[in-house]
């Protein structure tokens, strides 16, 4: 039976059940969205184990999804959180107008991320199209390169060079990755066909960078360096991508084939509502617990403190010690923090993981990111300049230091928000030591060069808000950005929830979260890893899935990610 989570405020929910592209693989083609959409839950745990405690470290979206589904199974999740509920789905209110927020982490969610949208719908959240470059939602876009600005509503308004770049990108994806065929196989939810098309790409591209792809595929080679450079600045879907050029091409291919760069939506009012509502949500049907139980109620209003230590007890249980020194023992622990924190932020007994897994956890490479926001009195950019007939300001992509500027309209009666600068890696590191004021001043000076007639300062109200996740000890980076040769590490982390062949000393601890998934930087991938961990814990407690509705661990040997040889 499928849960009635269809939400009229989300077009993604309208397409549930219809044949449309979803994040079905490509590495692990499994229908997570269908698996969770059962009113009875994902499976059953023997009644003897009902009420057993399971520690969940971290209350980001993966920790909350893990805890929510464990609660539905009749287990008692015990969440530990060192910082703020919601993790990287963080919507920071402006002090002067608390209803107006800056989205510091996840802010645009592709509708192909159907497992995430299952929870967005469950929490009855409204979403709307995100104003990405050249989309209708943006209204207009300015591309400012080498001192020249181009104003456009669609790509057709831009000089031919930009269309050539766009065509070269799409042609390269077709030639090298058989994009349409792969997307068709994912739409059809045909795991064998997905593997047939995807696995050769894993072999071919794991060792090679995104830049290598752009520099060597025929459609780009036919054009020359300038087109490659423009592609780096303007990118595809969401903006410039040259900061990702050193990453493995596989990561970029996953985004493209999953359709993550198209049709993205924002959560009206605040992305952080999703983790907050899931925390409060009372499932209609759940094992063991009384109707009306929620994670908030199980925790009496607040999670446990941050975790300081994880060690194996002699009786095989895992001792979790919090930052205030209290220790509780658990049969199972799910860790959802960034993996670097297992060597820097938490004292973890080395014997809990194999050396191969430690190698993968430690070699994970993180992307840096900075965002700086200001609140403005109104969405003044929608005003039309009477001389030019253009919007006063537009969504802006530039080779200058701001890189991407997004205009976020909260409606005519509310202050609006400008994400002055959204930058990555080297561009983000340039401003790392600067205060919010200094970052805002730099960005406004840059935008003044692009829009000399606009007095942006006169519209600003309140104080700027900025974030650099890499300087936060609870994160150390925005999210994983896998380097060439990292496929085997990603596979080790992702497959860790299937523990049947593990020695006893490595069992009972599960990895989940953004950097354990195949699509880091996308909450959909984090949700998939949470559901993998739920299957692992259910299996450990003697549980099973329903007939005809296998879970991720039931089919992993058959349709799991391809294994590359070590030699």
Ligand X SMILES: Cc1cc2nc3c(=O)[nH]c(=O)nc-3n(C[C@H](O)[C@H](O)[C@H](O)COP(=O)(O)OP(=O)(O)OC[C@H]3O[C@@H](n4cnc5c(N)ncnc54)[C@H](O)[C@@H]3O)c2cc1C
Binding site for ligand X (CB under 6 A): 57-63, 80-83, 87-89, 105-109, 306-307, 336-337, 341, 345-346, 369, 469, 474-475, 478-479, 513-514, 521-523, 526
Cα separation, 492 vs 563, in Å, equals: 10
Task: Please check whether residue 522 is in contact with residue 113, taking contact to mean a CB–CB distance below 8 angstroms.
Answer: yes
Q: Could you give the C-alpha distances from 297 to 149, 302, 393, in angstroms and in order?
A: 54, 9, 47
E strand or H helix at 382: none
Q: By C-alpha distance, which of 513, 498, 475 is closest to 335?
A: 513
Q: By C-alpha distance, which of 26, 17, 184, 10 is closest to 111?
A: 10
Helix (H, G, I), strand (E, B) or coil at 94: strand
Q: How far is the CB of 532 from ligand X (least distance, A)?
A: 12
Which of 152/334 has CB closer to ligand X? 334
Which of 130/451 has CB closer to ligand X? 130
Which of 80/487 has CB closer to ligand X? 80
Which of 408/474 has CB closer to ligand X? 474
In this structure, the strands spanning 509-511 and 332-335 are parallel
Task: Please check whether residue 65 is in contact with residue 234, taking contact to mean a CB–CB distance below 8 angstroms.
Answer: no
Q: How far is the CB of 505 from ligand X (least distance, A)?
A: 22
Task: Please check whether residue 86 is in contact with residue 301, taking contact to mean a CB–CB distance below 8 angstroms.
Answer: no
Helix (H, G, I), strand (E, B) or coil at 138: helix
Which of 26/58 has CB closer to ligand X? 58
- What does the DSSP 8-state code read for residue 431? T
Helix (H, G, I), strand (E, B) or coil at 425: helix
Q: How far is the CB of 515 from ligand X (least distance, A)?
A: 7
Q: How far is the CB of 513 from ligand X (least distance, A)?
A: 3
Q: How far is the CB of 109 from ligand X (least distance, A)?
A: 5
Q: How far is the CB of 529 from ligand X (least distance, A)?
A: 7
Which of 176/272 has CB closer to ligand X? 272
Q: How far is the CB of 421 from ligand X (least distance, A)?
A: 12
Which of 57/442 has CB closer to ligand X? 57
Which of 176/514 has CB closer to ligand X? 514
In this structure, the strands spanning 395-398 and 264-267 are unpaired
Q: How far is the CB of 525 from ligand X (least distance, A)?
A: 6
Q: How far is the CB of 396 from ligand X (least distance, A)?
A: 18
Cα separation, 552 vs 555, in Å, equals: 6
Q: Could you give the C-alpha distances from 320 to 62, 309, 332, 375, 549, in angstroms and in order?
A: 19, 6, 10, 42, 33
Which of 331/524 has CB closer to ligand X? 524
Q: How far is the CB of 511 from ligand X (least distance, A)?
A: 10
Nearby residues of 2 by Cβ (< 8 Å), 6 or more positions away: 17, 37, 38, 39
Quote the Cα angle for 381-402-172, to 5°.
100
E strand or H helix at 396: strand 395-398
C-alpha count within 13 angstroms, C-beta hemisphere, residue 340: 15
Which of 219/521 has CB closer to ligand X? 521
Q: How far is the CB of 56 from ligand X (least distance, A)?
A: 9
- What does the DSSP 8-state code read for residue 505? G
User: How close are the terminal C-alpha atoms of the chain, in Å?
Assistant: 46
Cα separation, 117 vs 487, in Å, equals: 27
Which of 193/323 has CB closer to ligand X? 323
Q: 209 has which bridge partners?
A: 248
Q: How far is the CB of 558 from ligand X (least distance, A)?
A: 26
Residue 159 token pair? 């000089």
Which of 346/531 has CB closer to ligand X? 346
Q: How far is the CB of 441 from ligand X (least distance, A)?
A: 21
Q: How far is the CB of 121 from ligand X (least distance, A)?
A: 15
In sign, the C-alpha dihedral spanning 512, 515, 518, 524 is: positive
Which of 340/380 has CB closer to ligand X? 340
Cα separation, 150 vs 118, in Å, equals: 39
Cα separation, 144 vs 141, in Å, equals: 10
Helix (H, G, I), strand (E, B) or coil at 488: helix
Cα separation, 275 vs 519, in Å, equals: 20
Which of 5/368 has CB closer to ligand X? 368
């Amino acid at each position: 039976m499928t849960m009635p989570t269809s939400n009229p405020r989300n077009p993604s929910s309208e397409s549930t059940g219809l044949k449309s592209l979803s994040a079905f693989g490509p590495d692990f083609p499994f229908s997570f969205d269908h698996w969770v959409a059962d009113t009875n839950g994902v499976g059953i745990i023997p009644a003897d184990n009902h009420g057993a405690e399971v520690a969940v470290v971290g209350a980001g979206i993966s920790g909350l999804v893990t805890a929510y589904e464990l609660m539905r199974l009749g287990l008692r999740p015990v969440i530990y959180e060192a910082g703020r509920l919601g993790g990287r789905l963080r919507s920071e209110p402006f002090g002067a107008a608390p209803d107006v927020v800056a989205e510091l982490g996840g802010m645009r969610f592709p509708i192909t991320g159907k497992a995430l949208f299952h929870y967005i719908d469950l929490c009855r959240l409204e979403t709307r199209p995100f104003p990405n470059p050249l989309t209708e939602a943006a209204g207009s876009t300015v591309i400012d390169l080498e001192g020249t600005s181009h104003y456009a509503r669609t790509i057709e308004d831009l000089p031919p060079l930009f269309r050539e770049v766009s065509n070269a990108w799409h042609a390269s994806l077709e030639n090298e990755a058989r994009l349409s065929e792969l997307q068709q196989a994912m739409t059809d939810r045909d795991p064998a066909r997905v593997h047939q098309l995807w696995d050769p790409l894993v072999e071919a591209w794991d060792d090679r960078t995104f830049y290598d792809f752009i520099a060597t595929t025929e459609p780009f080679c036919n054009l020359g360096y300038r087109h490659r450079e423009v592609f780096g600045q303007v990118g595809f879907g969401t903006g410039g991508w040259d900061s990702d050029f050193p990453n493995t091409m596989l990561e970029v291919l996953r985004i493209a084939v999953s359709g993550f760069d198209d049709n993205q939506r924002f959560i009206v009012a605040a992305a952080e509502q999703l983790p907050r509502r899931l925390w409060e949500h009372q499932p209609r049907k759940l094992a063991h617990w009384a109707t009306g139980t929620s994670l908030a109620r199980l925790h009496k209003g607040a999670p446990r403190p941050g975790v300081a230590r994880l060690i194996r007890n002699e009786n095989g249980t895992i001792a979790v010690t919090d930052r205030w020194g209290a220790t509780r023992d658990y049969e199972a622990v799910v860790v959802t923090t960034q993996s670097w924190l297992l060597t820097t932020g938490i004292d973890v007994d080395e014997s809990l993981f194999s050396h191969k897994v430690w190698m993968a956890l430690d070699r994970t490479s993180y992307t840096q990111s900075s965002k700086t926001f200001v609140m403005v009195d109104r969405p003044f950019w929608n005003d039309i300049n009477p001389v030019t007939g253009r919007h006063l300001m537009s969504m802006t992509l530039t080779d200058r230091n701001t890189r991407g500027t997004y205009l976020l309209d909260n409606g005519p009666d509310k202050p609006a928000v400008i994400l002055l600068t959204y930058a990555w890696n080297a561009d983000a590191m340039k401003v790392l030591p600067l205060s919010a004021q200094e970052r805002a001043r730099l960005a406004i000076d840059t935008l003044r060069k692009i829009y000399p007639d606009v007095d942006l300062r006169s519209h600003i109200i309140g104080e700027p808000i900025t974030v650099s996740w890499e300087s936060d000890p609870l994160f150390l980076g925005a999210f994983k950005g896998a380097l060439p040769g990292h496929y085997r590490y990603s596979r080790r982390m992702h497959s860790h929830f299937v523990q049947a062949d593990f020695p006893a000393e490595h069992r009972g601890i599960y990895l989940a979260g953004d950097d354990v998934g195949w699509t880091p930087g996308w909450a959909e991938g984090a949700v998939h890893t949470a559901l993998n961990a739920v299957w692992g814990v259910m299996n450990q407690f003697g549980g099973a899935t329903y007939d005809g509705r296998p879970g991720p661990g039931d089919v992993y040997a058959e349709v799991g990610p391809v294994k590359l040889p070590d030699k």
